Each structure stands twice: as C-alpha cells, then as structure tokens.
Amino acid sequence: MKPILICAALAGSLVLTGCDTPALLSLDPFAAPGEAVVDPALAGVWEAGENDICVIRQTGATGYTVAFHSDGLTRKFDAVLFRVANAEFLDLVPSDSGDFSVPAHALARVWPESARLRWAYVDTEWFRGQAAAVPSRPLQENKLLLTGAGAAVRALLANAAGDERAHGDVTGWKRLP
C-alpha cells in the first residue's frame, strides 16, 4: 500500500470524539525539538457529553498521552504541547501506528483551564490557503497532507496559527473529579 493511502486511512481513523476529525495532517512534527512545554491545567479526565471521555496524562518531562473514549471505541495518541505567541497547541500523533502506517501529525489548539478544556483543530479553508506555500498533496475526503520540512510548517504556524480564523469549531470539555 502506498504511504499516501496509508495516511488517508490514518486520517480517516482519527475519530476524536467530541471534535471533528482533522483534515490537515503533516509528515513532520509541528513542534520543533526543544519547544515542548508543560501546562498543569491540561492533564486530567475530561468529559464532553454522556459517552465522550478524554484522558490526558503527562508522560516524561514534556510529553503527553491522550486517549479518547466514546461508545466503546478508544483512540490513543502521543502528544507534545507547545506555544506560538500566546496560543497553546497539541501536536498529536497516533500511538498505535504499525508497520504499514505512516504516523501523520495533527494539530489542535487548546485552551486548558482548571475546570474546563476547550479544543479545536487548526484546520480551516483560510488556514489551508495560508499553507499554500508549504509543499503538500491532497488526500481523500478533502484532506491535505503537508509534506514540507518541519521548518516550513513551523514558519506557517508562526505566521498564522494564532489567528482565530485558523481553527474550526471549538469543543468544550469539563473536568471530571
């Protein structure tokens, strides 16, 4: 199977409960080495409806694991939190990728607070227009795979990701005790 088809299948499998699935993916991490930060308000158990649970745990000095549980299905991701200007972002990559899959990165903007977490994918038509300078290729179902080097992707983020037009609908999660 071609790597691009594998990425398309991966993108289709990124069913993040309570959120839209990302349509903008990258082969390279969005966060550069050394950019990872920790926000104590991010880790916890979050709920966005009766059957939608998100568990975020800090791993190591600056990493996170993210598990979304909904209707008997669980999707697990490794994540890095980083900041661009005043905005916080999670660089998510599936933790269960196998030999025949390419671990594509998805980008979510997050607003962690003590009792709630707001979340939105950085992925809008406006942002994709900004990404036109980064090498990419279309995937199935209106998805775009950024294939440019990490530095080009980070330059894009520095210029556009903090803009409110860059992210889609915001999903609200409440912290569970």
Domain segments of the chain: what residues? 3-168
pLDDT at 133 over 50: yes
User: What is the rounded average pLDDT of the residues 47-58?
Assistant: 91
- At 129, list the tokens: 């227009």
pLDDT at 83 over 80: yes
Instruction: Report the share of the chain in percent with pLDDT over 90.
Output: 38
pLDDT at 5 over 60: no
SS (H, E, C) 53-110: EEEEEEECCCEEEEEEEECCEEEEEEEEEEEECCEEEEEEEECCCCCCCCCCEEEEEE
pLDDT at 65: 96
**81 and 42 Cβ atoms separated by less than 8 Å:** yes
User: What is the rounded average pLDDT of the residues 138-145?
Assistant: 82
Q: Is the pTM of this model over 0.85?
A: no
User: Residue 130: what are its φ and ψ, rounded to 5°?
Assistant: -70, -30
Pairwise CA distance, residues 4 & 102, whole Å: 8
